């Protein structure tokens, strides 16, 4: 069966950068973007060498790229220390006493660490790791709340060449155990607990549970965060605060090969078995440094807030490594966006004078659901740039974000990238790119993105196909840890020497990329293949709908029937009349073929803790089957139980 599909969403609104923004921007016109992009594709070695040379290298590389598909080595022979680039090099400049991290805890405490203070903390903790026997290439598992020590632990590992594996602080003990087993980590860094919606998440207790069957872990370092009673095992468990008092405040930044492993990060595969994505040092840092600089148009006086958790790739690349390598001031917030009230984000932006906000469409849709009155209480005029990450943003959410949060004046960078790509791949450049709501627009420098059909031919404008990248890029994954065959087949097995992103997409006549959903989420309805993202987008454009997820269930006549799970805005109630209206709304927006056969109303949708909707579970629910595979990444297991028992409201 063909994997090409029909793309039906039409969006004609265009928002050009304001002349005031463009005048000050690093990339200030489409002519400048096109010139640099052409150079980056025709002579990538020249382009990437220039970008990499802005970093601090202890030994310069001999060759920019060694590519034997599907294996890349970037900046061959170069030696670098990632931690030195994020911290030490700023101490030789005016940034020494500049805020590196402004942190706010969920209960309301605040801390600011300057680059000088961050340096001291990173050195001390690196010495603690060394004192506990951690050496270059040893794996260290980090399971922390959103506190500065999470970033300090990552940078300390990078400083001594240890390979960190951050596990999101909301995951269960099963997730920790799986990742410990796969990575063979010897040391765990955690905290007694963390705060989430006013209650304490028992992090250390979850670690203890995971370690019952994992005897290889010899040392657990525990940060005192919440102060609740915590069981400590003699000889294995040590308090962070006690250990840092025993060591020096200096730790030289040793040089490591450009291809030295920096971290492992596990993504949940559709089968449920997590894949350990391996990223290395020089190329990854070059990619995150360069994209942070240009996509966020970073300036020295910016207060930059990426709302992701450090447990996700977004937190690695755009809280820690990219912004800190640029010497930016970053905001870290520990808790939930609606604690104690649904205006916590807007309150933080107003108080801290945040200038750049980078958040997820799922969060934006939650804000819409909670109501505009929470936004209107606050002065958000400090914002100059907005960003979106994690999944395609539907046009109506884009418009709300633009108007309500950006006051109609802030460019929106809608970024497409993945754990595997390490850095942003497709995105507007805020001073240059005309934006259409819902599209990630154009490829970033050095990214040779294309859309191919089954035979590997590039499709025409507005035809659907598979999103690929035809040339290697510095921040690309290097392997799946311990599973080279899976790495080759999953990412490089469809088209020889070409990276398969796993997403369906189309390009419009202006060359903009529209991501229309994961290839395995494409629906086959009466011979038409439809991207779920487009049907969801049509549903969310109805004034009653806050969020929607669309899946297919087997149908004898059509092949697949379209089933929509819909969450309504506050104050809206489900009814047969609304169901009929929603079906007709989808029909008029994108055609009768896409009309949902069933609409099920749900108070909430099953999501991973990074905010991605788990459509795999929805498919199993509406096919009447049992839930199979890994559900440890779910934010709220009760959601699945409620949906399984729920009703559909058909007309």
Beta-carbon count within 10 A of 650 CB: 13
Nearest to 334 by CA among 365, 310, 354: 310
Q: Are residue 165 and residue 241 in the same domain, yes or no?
A: yes
Contact predicate 356/385, CB 8 Å: yes
Q: Are residue 222 and residue 310 in the same domain, yes or no?
A: no
Domain of residue 413, residue span = 19-81+259-450
Separation between Cα atoms, residue 600 and residue 574, nearest integer Å? 9
Q: What pLDDT does residue 271 have?
A: 47
Please determine, for residue 3, whether its predicted confidence score (pLDDT) is greater than 60: no
110's tokens: 């605040």
- DSSP code string of 444-487: PTT--EEEE-TTSPBPPTT--EEEEE-S--TT---EETT-HHHH
Q: Where residue 362 falls among pLDDT bands split at 50, 70, 90? A: confident
Please determine, for residue 647, whether its predicted confidence score (pLDDT) is greater than 70: no
Which H/E stretch holds residue 230?
A: none
Separation between Cα atoms, residue 333 and residue 313, nearest integer Å? 17
Span 252-302, pLDDT tens digits: 999 999 999 999 999 865 445 678 999 999 999 999 999 999 999 999 999
Beta-carbon count within 10 A of 273 CB: 14
Q: Quick check: is 618 in a domain?
A: yes
Beta-carbon count within 10 A of 69 CB: 12
Q: Are residue 290 and residue 439 in the same domain, yes or no?
A: yes
- Which residue is it, tokens 């259409």? 436
Phi then psi for residue 113, to 5 deg, are: -115, 125
Q: Quick check: is 346 in a domain?
A: yes
Q: What pLDDT does residue 2 have?
A: 45
- Distance set, CA 103 to CA 100, 331, 348 (Å): 10, 6, 10
Q: What pLDDT does residue 130 have?
A: 98
Q: Regarding predicted confidence, which is higher, 650 or 86?
A: 86
* Span 331-356, average pLDDT: 97
Q: Are residue 234 and residue 327 in the same domain, yes or no?
A: no
- Which residue is it, tokens 């960078």? 413
Q: Quick check: is 565 in a domain?
A: yes
Q: Could you give the 3-state DSSP secondary structure of residue 491?
A: helix
Separation between Cα atoms, residue 180 and residue 211, nearest integer Å? 9
Phi then psi for residue 193, to 5 deg, are: -170, 180
Q: What pLDDT does residue 651 have?
A: 40
Separation between Cα atoms, residue 338 and residue 613, nearest integer Å? 19
* Span 402-421, average pLDDT: 97
Nearest to 304 by CA among 325, 277, 276, 279: 325
* Span 433-461, average pLDDT: 96
Separation between Cα atoms, residue 92 and residue 80, nearest integer Å? 17
Which H/E stretch holds residue 579?
A: helix 576-590
Nearest to 55 by CA among 302, 325, 345: 325
Q: Are residue 138 and residue 160 in the same domain, yes or no?
A: yes
Separation between Cα atoms, residue 483 and residue 282, nearest integer Å? 23
Nearest to 283 by CA among 253, 260, 313, 265: 260
Q: Where residue 623 falls among pLDDT bands split at 50, 70, 90? A: confident
Span 556-597, pLDDT tens digits: 777 788 999 999 998 999 999 999 999 999 887 777 778 899
Q: What pLDDT does residue 528 have?
A: 67
- Which residue is it, tokens 């929106």? 412
User: How many structural domains compose the chain?
Assistant: 3
**CATH number, residue 290:** 3.40.50.12780
Q: Are residue 215 and residue 273 in the same domain, yes or no?
A: no
512's tokens: 């903009």
Which H/E stretch holds residue 56?
A: none
533's tokens: 């993202």
User: For residue 6, what are the contacts with CB-CB under 8 A and spacing of at least 6?
Assistant: 464, 528, 529, 530, 593
Specify the range with the lowest mean pLDDT, choosing from 125-134, 340-349, 490-499, 625-634: 625-634
624's tokens: 């009447």
Length of the chain: 651
Q: Are residue 362 and residue 336 in the same domain, yes or no?
A: yes
Q: Quick check: is 446 in a domain?
A: yes
Which H/E stretch holds residue 49?
A: helix 44-52
Last residue of a domain, one of 424, 450, 476: 450
Last residue of a domain, one of 253, 287, 304: 253
Q: Are residue 77 and residue 125 in the same domain, yes or no?
A: no
Q: Are residue 296 and residue 209 in the same domain, yes or no?
A: no
Nearest to 367 by CA among 353, 380, 384: 380
Q: Quick check: is 98 in a domain?
A: no
330's tokens: 């970053």
Q: Round to the nearest angstrom and report the end-to-end CA distance of the chain.
A: 33
* Span 86-102, average pLDDT: 98
Q: Could you give the 3-state DSSP secondary structure of residue 200?
A: strand
Separation between Cα atoms, residue 307 and residue 354, nearest integer Å? 12
Q: Which residues of 203-241 are buried (b: 16+ CB within 10 A; e: fewer)?
A: bbbbbbebbeebeebebbbbbebbeeebeeeeeebbebe
Phi then psi for residue 387, to 5 deg, are: -135, 155
- Which residue is it, tokens 């970073």? 298
- DSSP code string of 417-437: --TTT-S--B---TTTPPB-T
Average pLDDT of every residue of the chain: 91
**CATH number, residue 225:** 3.40.50.980
358's tokens: 């980078």
Q: Quick check: is 60 in a domain?
A: yes
Q: Are residue 218 and residue 285 in the same domain, yes or no?
A: no
3-state helix, strand, coil in the chain (%, to 5): 35, 25, 40
Q: Are residue 186 and residue 291 in the same domain, yes or no?
A: no
Q: Where residue 1 falls among pLDDT bands split at 50, 70, 90? A: very low
**CATH number, residue 626:** 3.30.300.30
CA angle 585, 586, 591 (to 5 degrees): 115
Q: What pLDDT does residue 239 have?
A: 98
357's tokens: 């906000």
Q: Regarding predicted confidence, which is higher, 378 or 214?
A: 378
Q: Are residue 376 and residue 432 in the same domain, yes or no?
A: yes
Beta-carbon count within 10 A of 112 CB: 12
Separation between Cα atoms, residue 37 and residue 41, nearest integer Å? 6
Last residue of a domain, one of 198, 224, 253: 253
Query: Max alpha carbon distance in the chain (Å)?
Result: 72
Q: Quick check: is 282 in a domain?
A: yes
Separation between Cα atoms, residue 158 and residue 512, nearest integer Å? 37
Separation between Cα atoms, residue 445 and residue 348, nearest integer Å? 33
CA dihedral 114, 115, 116, 119 (to 10 degrees): 120
Q: Quick check: is 104 in a domain?
A: no
Specify the range with the lowest mean pLDDT, choosing from 117-126, 148-157, 287-296, 621-630: 621-630
Beta-carbon count within 10 A of 92 CB: 9
């Amino acid at each position: 069966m063909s994997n090409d599909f029909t793309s039906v969403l039409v969006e004609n609104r265009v928002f050009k950068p304001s002349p005031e923004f463009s005048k000050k921007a690093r990339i200030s016109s489409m002519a400048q973007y096109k010139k640099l992009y052409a150079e980056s594709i025709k002579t990538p070695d020249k382009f990437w060498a220039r970008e990499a040379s802005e970093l601090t290298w202890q030994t310069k590389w001999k060759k920019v790229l060694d590519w034997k598909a599907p294996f890349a080595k970037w900046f061959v022979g170069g030696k670098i220390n990632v931690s030195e680039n994020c911290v030490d090099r700023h101490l030789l400049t005016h940034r020494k006493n500049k805020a590196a991290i402004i942190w706010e805890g969920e209960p309301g405490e605040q801390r600011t660490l300057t680059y000088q203070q961050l340096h001291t903390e990173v050195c001390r903790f690196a010495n603690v790791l060394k004192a506990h026997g951690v050496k270059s290439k040893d794996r260290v598992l980090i399971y922390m709340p959103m506190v500065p020590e999470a970033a300090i632990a990552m940078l300390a590992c990078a400083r001594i060449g240890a390979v960190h594996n951050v596990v999101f602080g909301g995951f269960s003990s099963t997730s920790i155990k799986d990742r410990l087993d796969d990575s063979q980590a010897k040391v765990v860094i955690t905290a007694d607990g963390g705060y989430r919606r006013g209650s304490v998440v028992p992090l250390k207790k979850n670690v203890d549970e995971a370690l019952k069957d994992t005897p290889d872990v010899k040392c657990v370092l525990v940060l005192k965060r919440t102060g609740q009673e915590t069981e400590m095992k003699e000889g294995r468990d040590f308090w962070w605060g006690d250990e840092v008092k025993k060591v020096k405040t200096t730790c030289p930044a040793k040089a490591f090969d450009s291809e030295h492993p920096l971290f492992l990060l596990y993504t949940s595969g559709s089968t449920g078995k997590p894949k350990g994505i391996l990223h290395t040092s020089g190329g990854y840092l070059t990619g995150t440094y360069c994209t942070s600089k240009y996509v966020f148009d970073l300036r020295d006086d910016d207060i930059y807030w990426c709302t992701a958790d450090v447990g996700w790739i977004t937190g690695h690349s755009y809280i820690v490594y990219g912004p800190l390598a640029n010497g930016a001031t970053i905001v870290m917030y520990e808790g939930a966006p609606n604690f104690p009230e649904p205006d916590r984000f807007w309150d933080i932006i107003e108080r801290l004078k945040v200038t750049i906000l980078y958040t997820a469409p799922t969060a934006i849709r939650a804000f819409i659901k909670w109501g505009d009155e929470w936004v209107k209480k606050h002065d958000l005029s400090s914002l100059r740039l907005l960003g979106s990450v994690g999944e395609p943003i539907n046009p109506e959410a884009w418009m709300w974000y633009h108007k309500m949060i950006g006051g109609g004046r802030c460019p929106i960078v809608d970024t497409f990238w993945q754990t595997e790509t390490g850095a942003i791949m497709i995105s507007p450049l805020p001073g240059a790119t005309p934006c259409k709501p819902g599209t990630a627009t154009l490829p970033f420098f050095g990214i040779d993105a294309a859309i191919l059909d089954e035979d590997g031919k590039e499709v025409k404008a507005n035809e659907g196909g598979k999103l690929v990248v035809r040339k290697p890029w510095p921040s690309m994954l290097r392997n799946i840890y311990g599973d080279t065959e899976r790495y080759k087949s999953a990412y490089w097995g469809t088209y020889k020497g070409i990276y398969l992103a796993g997403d369906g997409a189309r390009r419009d006549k202006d060359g903009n990329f529209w991501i229309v959903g994961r290839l395995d989420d494409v629906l086959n309805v009466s011979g038409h293949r439809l991207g779920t993202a487009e049907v969801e987008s049509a549903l969310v454009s109805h004034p009653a709908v806050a969020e929607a997820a669309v899946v297919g269930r087997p149908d004898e006549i059509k092949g697949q029937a379209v089933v929509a799970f819909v969450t309504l805005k506050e104050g809206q109630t489900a009814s047969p009349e609304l169901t009929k209206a929603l079906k007709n709304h989808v029909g008029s927006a994108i055609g009768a073929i896409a009309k949902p056969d069933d609409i099920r109303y749900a108070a909430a949708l099953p999501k991973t803790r990074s905010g991605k909707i788990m459509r795999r579970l929805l498919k199993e629910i509406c096919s009447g089957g049992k839930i199979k595979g890994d559900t440890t990444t779910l934010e709220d297991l009760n959601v699945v139980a409620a949906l399984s028992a729920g009703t559909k409201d058909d007309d």
